[in-house]
Structure 1
C-alpha cells in the first residue's frame, strides 16, 4: 500500500544535475538578497527582517554546496550574477 506513494529513485547523474540547478538558483537568490539588503536599508522596512532574509538565503545556498561537496561533485559553477528578472 505504501509503495505506491514513493517517488521513483533518481539515478546519480540525474540527482547531481538537479543539485547543480538548485545550487545555481540558490546562488541567484542569495546574490539578489544581498543586493536588496543594501538597497532596502535606506527605506522604512525593519532592518532585522532584511538581514534575516539574507541570512536565510545564504544558509540555503551553503547547505546545497555542502551537499555537493559530500557527494564529491565536480562541475563548473556559474560565476556571474546574470539572470533576467
Structure 2
C-alpha cells in the first residue's frame, strides 16, 4: 500500500493512455472479443505499474529533491515570504 501510495500521482497520470494503447493494440493485432478482456486488463495493469514506477523514479523523485534543495536555500537566506506576498509580489519592507 505504501508503494502504491507513493506512486499514486504517476499511476493516475499513466493509466488512461496505457489503457487506450493496450485496447488499440489488442484490437489491431489480436482476435479481440470479450474473452481477451482479462488478458488486456492484466497487460494494462502491469504496464501502468511499470510506467508509474519509472516516472516516479525518473521524474518525481528528482523534482522533489530539487524542491527540497530550493527550499533549504531559501530558508538559509532567511526568505520567509507568506503565500500572499509570493502571489502579489509584495515585500516586508514596502
Give TM class, smaller chain: 0.3 to 0.5
If asked which structure has higher relative contact order (CA below 8 Å, sep 6+), I would say 1
Q: Which one has the bigger helix percentage?
A: 2
Q: Which has the larger radius of gyration?
A: 2
Per the normalisation by structure 2, the TM-score is: 0.37
